[in-house]
Chain A
Amino acid sequence: MMDWFQSNPMTLVGLVLWAVGILWLMPAKHGGKPRSRILGLVLTAAGLVSFCLACGNPHSELANEVMFWVFGIGALLCGVLMITARNPVYAALWFALTTLATCGLFLLQSAPFLAAATIIVYAGAVIVTFLFVIMLAQQSGAAGYDQRSGQSVLATVAAFVFLGAIAMTLQTEKLDIEVRAVPVVAAVAEPAPAVGGMPGMPGIAVDLPIGAPATPPEPGNLLSVADADHPVGNLKGLGRSLFGDYLFAVELAGTLLLVACIGAIAIAPRREQGGL
């Protein structure tokens, strides 16, 4: 633990500055005069820059680096501004910006379909619904409960200890991910009997020597493994995974949407019962 402190001082300084900035920005009343937001913003931005500098990647290209900086720092900064906004309308708009920045990060992680779906669902539906509810329920301007925050020191310290623990784990542990690379070349070179693979699905044949005792096929969702034809994030591969391995779950998700729709209609108050 002390090794981590000494080897990653930037991360630690960034976390502390960021936490102090959030605490400064939190809505609180001290003698009836609100604190200036500029200092909190500067603290938060300095902490974020330091936090993201600590996890820089010296081997990546400049364009990739710039996009990660813009989207990553943008997402985190908009998140800070969202949770400290005094007006719920502004909070919803900052949340929309956070969603856009997260979609940029999805694009960097080769998930274009997911980025589009997230923008459509969140920015198109969820944010609009939130804004409607805010307009319905909070017509009288600024409310007193938005000017205060409960137990902000305790919550911020606990949450940042948690984040520090995650950062320490990520930066010290060298996890060796065993990628289930599908040996397309090997399968061509040595035609092995398809033990675990599905018939008619090339590329998922388990590589078995002829005389070896038959080991059980590798468990898992074989249609979800990325290969040369279906790299990660490919729409065809994603659809094959969704409607192959997860077909039952897709049906279940549709049922869940129906149940939630019925529930929302049943719970929402009617106008005849007093209106809003």
Chain B
Amino acid sequence: MTPEEQRFLLVGAGLFVLGIIGFLTRRNLILMVLSAELMLHGISLTMVTFGRMHQTQEGQAFTIFTLTVAACEAGLALSLVLALYRKSHSLDIQLWSELRESDLAGPTADIASETEKPVDAYENIPKLTPAGIVPKDPPRTSASSGATSSGRV
């Protein structure tokens, strides 16, 4: 193993470990699936490096299969996430902690904190106005009363 291959293996291991941390710590369902994809990236890099070390095409051939499985996994996981979201109207994984084994401890953070108002950290992001029925009678103000009366009838 040359140092050239060793450092690619180290970067692959680093990507895998980052995926582990994200999967274990984050509470958003979508972010957990994304972290699993990050782990797959690390595995792919390691397998490509192994294939080059052994001078065979098998590493890259197997990575293509990993790519296929990753695509299947993303599709299935996202439809599962949507189904779970329809039931709980939240992406929080801890709302599903009822599914754990009965002798395990519950979630560490309190679920009651979910009911508090979400932090509005993204106020500056533009939001679309909700679509709906066009109001029939726009409220008249004194400045625009002449324009609206002339446009009507």
Contact = CB atoms under 8 A, between A and B. Distances in A.
State whether these chains interact: yes
Nearest to A232: B52
Contact of A88 (B30, B54, B90): B30
B55 interface: yes
B7 A145 contact: no
A183 B22 CA distance: 46
Interface stretch (A49-57, A192-200, A209-217): A49-57
Contacts of B17: 159-160, 162-163
A109 interface: yes
A143 B65 contact: no
B55 A226 contact: yes
Interface string B25-64: 1111011011101100100110011011111111011011
B3 A57 contact: yes
Contact of B25 (A152, A261, A263): A152
In terms of DSSP, what is the predominant structure of the interface of chain B? helix
A92 interface: yes
Contact of A147 (B2, B54, B57, B119): B119
B78 to A, nearest CB: 5
A238 B60 contact: yes
Given A55-B6, A68-B7, A129-B78, A88 B28 contact: yes
B40 to A, nearest CB: 10
A273 B85 CA distance: 13
A79 B19 CA distance: 8
B74 to A, nearest CB: 5
Interface of B: 1-4, 6-11, 13-15, 17-22, 24-28, 30-31, 33-35, 37-38, 41, 44-45, 48-49, 51-58, 60-61, 63-65, 67-76, 78-83, 85-86, 90-94, 107-109, 113-114, 116, 118-122, 125, 127
10 contacts: A114-B44, A133-B30, A145-B93, A148-B113, A150-B94, A156-B25, A166-B10, A257-B72, A260-B75, A264-B76
